[in-house]
Amino acid sequence: MKTSLYLFAGLFLLFTVAACDDDDDNTPAIDVPETYEFSRDGQSTVSFSGQSLRIAMAEELTAAMLDFDKTTEDLNNMFTNAEGTNPFSDAELNASTKSLRSKVAASRDLYSDNSVEAAEVKAEFDRWIFNQVNEVFPNRNQLASAGQAGQMADGSSVRYVSSWGLEYNQAFAKALIGAMMYDQIANHYLSSDVLFEGTNQADNDAEITVDGESYTTMEHYWDEAFGYLFGASATPAEPLTDVGEADSFLNEYLGRVAEQGSFTAITTITERSFRTGRAAIVAGRYDDIVPQHAVMIRAELNKVLAARANYYLCSAIADLEAMPANQGGAFHALSEAYGFIYALRFIAQNSGNFVPADMEVISDFLLEELRNEDGFGFWGLSADDIRVINNDLKESAVIAGIYPSSAYFCD
């Protein structure tokens, strides 16, 4: 039944696109290409180089959070890419004026009128960097225990955790998926306030391009959203060829979620919606097809954040109940769940995805349960405690309309 529901959604999408060509003569037809390739006067109009650079920066920074020779300044410089610091091993990244921190909690929909909250989100990422260097690094050779940062065994791997069991590097990486990749896609570049700002629609109709470029502003904004998901692909025109492998962020987990039984069509629906929405911009179908596919993309990406939070809570339960228990594996999974639950706060009511719940409140509540401040953090969480947290997540996601309860696969 789960797969058939997705099949129905896919068929509905295809029917909707096909039906566009049968409208009356006053309605522009949509020519949806088989690949994400669009051109004008023989030149490609697709560009998302800034997104590709930021994904590469994020890869270097998250890897560097386990480089014990790095200082807080080193990692902060990678986060901000301040002029003259040259913090990356890749000269192209050092030469770029792009940065990660500037795009964290920076969407139009959520933060244009909320600079205080944006600063609080950025400060949380700053704290994770500071704590990794100043709490975890000095104790890397200590055995971790309740109240003691250090290392833990996880099979053949070694995990480095805080005094309450959190891997700051995992929380940082997974939260960044929500705070930058998702937020910029769902709440910024696919926002009607951004796409249709000022003269964007009139310029797109008249094919007035950005100075010195082949694309219109509206085309470029849609491509930038595409870039935060598929910008690291080896073949971005056909991004499903390496989806799940192109990067360690939203792309990876879109692919991972597609391996979960309830979401097998998530990659094809998302990629098809990006192509169709982009073709609709070219065709000038602003009132129906463009916003329709923006909503569909958001809805699929919402599933990624919630489904992976659930997956890692389930993994932690399994590790704690294994014989013998794998506490290091459980803490690793809980750290990843922590980051994805933090990312839930970026699912917004006002971005066209019809979420009837305040996901920031839900995120804060679930994080408080995970921090377990009166019980030594992760050290004091039993498998049953995590089940309670997972059930709270499940109920919240169902109420928010992110996906049905049948999508969960652990008790």
19: Cβ contacts below 8 Å, ≥ 6 apart: none
CB atoms within 10 A of CB 237: 16
> Coil, strand, or helix at residue 48?
coil
In this prediction, residue 161 carries a pLDDT of: 98
Measured CA to CA, the distance from residue 356 to residue 354 in angstroms comes to 6
C-alpha dihedral (176, 177, 179, 185), degrees to nearest 10: 150
**What CA–CA distances, in Å, run from 73 to 82, 100, 133, 149, 151?**
11, 15, 10, 21, 23
Annotate 355-385 with three-state secondary structure.
CCCCHHHHHHHHHHHHHCCCCCHHHHCCHHH
Spans of all domains in the chain: 2-19+179-301
Backbone angles phi, psi at 32, to 5 degrees: -90, 115
In this prediction, residue 8 carries a pLDDT of: 34
In this prediction, residue 17 carries a pLDDT of: 43
Place of tokens 């896609």: 185
* H or E segment to which residue 40 belongs: strand 39-40
In this prediction, residue 16 carries a pLDDT of: 41
CB atoms within 10 A of CB 357: 16
In this prediction, residue 355 carries a pLDDT of: 55
Q: Please give the average pLDDT of every successive group of 10 residues along the chain, which has 411 residues.
A: 36 39 61 97 97 98 98 98 96 97 97 95 98 98 98 97 98 98 98 97 98 98 98 98 98 96 93 98 94 95 96 97 97 98 88 64 96 96 97 91 79 67
State both tokens at 290: 């463009």
First-last CA distance in the chain: 20
Q: Are the beta carbons of 189 and 401 closer than 8 angstroms?
A: no
Measured CA to CA, the distance from residue 313 to residue 250 in angstroms comes to 19
Measured at the CA of 329, the angle between CA 174 and CA 308, to 5 degrees, comes to: 35
Any bridge partners for residue 127, and if so which? none
Measured CA to CA, the distance from residue 357 to residue 197 in angstroms comes to 27
Q: Are the beta carbons of 326 and 155 closer than 8 angstroms?
A: yes
Q: Are the beta carbons of 231 and 252 closer than 8 angstroms?
A: no
In this prediction, residue 159 carries a pLDDT of: 98
CB atoms within 10 A of CB 63: 14
Measured CA to CA, the distance from residue 190 to residue 293 in angstroms comes to 9
**What CA–CA distances, in Å, run from 340 to 5, 149, 297, 365?**
25, 22, 18, 14
* H or E segment to which residue 152 belongs: strand 150-154
- Kindly report each contact of residues 3-12 with a partner whose C-beta sits within 8 Å and lies 24 or more positions away, as own/partner: 3/261, 3/264, 3/265, 6/263, 6/264, 6/265, 6/266, 6/269, 7/265, 9/265, 9/269, 10/265, 10/268, 10/269, 10/272
Measured CA to CA, the distance from residue 411 to residue 397 in angstroms comes to 16
Measured CA to CA, the distance from residue 106 to residue 297 in angstroms comes to 19
In residues, how long is the chain?
Answer: 411
In this prediction, residue 82 carries a pLDDT of: 92
DSSP string, 60-107: HHHHHTT-TT--HHHHHHHHH--TT---SSSHHHHH----SGGGTT--
